[in-house]
A and B are shown apart, each in its own frame.
Chain A
Amino acid sequence: MSFSVDFVPSTETQDLSYHDKINYILTRVIQRSIVVLETSLTPEEEMGLIEKTMKHINFKDFNGIRLVSFDSGETLRRTKLFGRSSNTRTFTIVAPNDAVSILKDDRGILSIKFNR
């Protein structure tokens, strides 16, 4: 099984409506792409993505997603000083669940392991 990694610039998604954005991401992930978005998703978009994912799981070739947001160093520093703020500057990775394992440590290092 092969996967591609798609790096999606913010210009691709910034004008999409809530639903179109979720569909844009999910369509790619179902077609076995690991999507790296330049923008962060809002909590509502993340929740909507999870909800939509549940409706698309077929227990054959799609068992769901992995969703991770990457915190910038600046965000991590502010988090240390002031606690987590919800307005974090991040990029977001959405991958087919069986394609990768994603580990994030307390220093903010994100490590993606590709499954074969």
Chain B
Amino acid sequence: MSWKLWLKSNKTKKINLGFYGEVNAGKTTLANKIGMDWASQEVGEVSEIPHETREIQKLEKVKFVAEGTNLDLTLIDMPGVATSVNPKDFIKFGLSPAEALQRAKEATRGIVEAIKYLENVDVALVVVDATKHPFDQVNFTIIGNLEAQNKPFIIVPNKVDLPDSNAELVKDAFSNYHVAPISALQGEGIYDLYNMIASLARKVR
């Protein structure tokens, strides 16, 4: 290998890694896992209450190495994309009507922000809750837009630690894409995902 090639292959590449997907799929849990593994820092708050992430959260300068590829990642955790937001969904979790309304308003703004930010993402992780039916239109809408913008992405069926998860069904539904099933909570499958991120990142720019 010539020294120029060698330099090039070892140069740290800056990559904006965006976390997309439905509400509560585990985007923040995964962003935190990656942040902790590579930078000993979390990105945001995780909650069982939908729309916990209502603003884009970033963690910069995450030094990541996999398959000999050095990356300088910016983790960009997005609000979950939804086609509707109903304050009633939060009242169930004990929020007051005023708090629920405030959360709902912030959630709608967050969704717009997440959509607008797509163009700044270099590689996207589309996190899918593997315990749910994978035919939610939102997943296809996100994937269709990533394809239209030529953004490399990985479909990440999450929560495979749960007994009612079905990663195979998600794999079937998205059979001609890169798919990496994981448990963001327990770490299962995470190294395969890291290798996949590295190989997609190599092709960026």
Instruction: Say whether A associates with B.
Output: yes
Interface residue ranges, A against B (CB under 8 Å): 42-44, 46-47, 50-51, 53-55, 57, 59, 63-69, 82-86, 97-98, 104, 106
* Interface majority SS (helix, strand, loop, mixed), chain B: helix
Q: Is the CB of A59 within 8 A of B87?
A: yes
Among B82, B116, B141, contact of A46 (Cβ-Cβ < 8 Å): B141
Across-interface contacts of B138 in A (CB, < 8 A): 50
* Nearest residue, chain A, Cβ from B111: A54
Q: Is the CB of B137 within 8 A of A63?
A: no
Cα of A10 to Cα of B129 in the assembled complex, Å: 34
Q: Is the CB of B115 within 8 A of A50?
A: yes
Across-interface contacts of B174 in A (CB, < 8 A): 83-84
Among B83, B115, B147, B169, contact of A97 (Cβ-Cβ < 8 Å): B83
Q: Is the CB of A57 within 8 A of B108?
A: yes
Q: Is the CB of A51 within 8 A of B112?
A: yes
Q: Is the CB of B112 within 8 A of A55?
A: yes
Interface code B73-115, partner A: CB below 8 Å = 1, 0 otherwise?
A: 0000000011111110000000000000100110011011001
Q: Is the CB of B144 within 8 A of A65?
A: no
Across-interface contacts of B109 in A (CB, < 8 A): 54
Cα of A67 to Cα of B83 in the assembled complex, Å: 7
Q: Is the CB of A64 within 8 A of B175?
A: no
Across-interface contacts of B111 in A (CB, < 8 A): 50-51, 54
* Interface majority SS (helix, strand, loop, mixed), chain A: mixed
Shortest B151–chain A CB gap in Å is: 12
With an 8 A cutoff between CB atoms, is B135 at the interface?
A: yes
Cα of A114 to Cα of B55 in the assembled complex, Å: 34
Among A53, A54, A85, A97, contact of B86 (Cβ-Cβ < 8 Å): A97
Q: Which of B164-199 contact A (CB under 8 A)?
A: 169, 173-177
**14 sampled A-B residue pairs with Cβ under 8 A:** A42-B148, A43-B141, A43-B144, A44-B144, A53-B84, A57-B108, A59-B86, A63-B86, A66-B83, A83-B176, A84-B173, A86-B147, A97-B86, A104-B133
Q: Is the CB of A53 within 8 A of B83?
A: yes
Q: Is the CB of B147 within 8 A of A51?
A: no
Q: Is the CB of A59 within 8 A of B101?
A: yes
- Known contacts: A64-B82, A97-B84. The answer to whether A82 contacts B176 by CB under 8 A is yes
- Known contacts: A47-B115, A54-B111, A55-B112. The answer to whether A63 contacts B84 by CB under 8 A is yes
Shortest B103–chain A CB gap in Å is: 11
Cα of A43 to Cα of B115 in the assembled complex, Å: 12
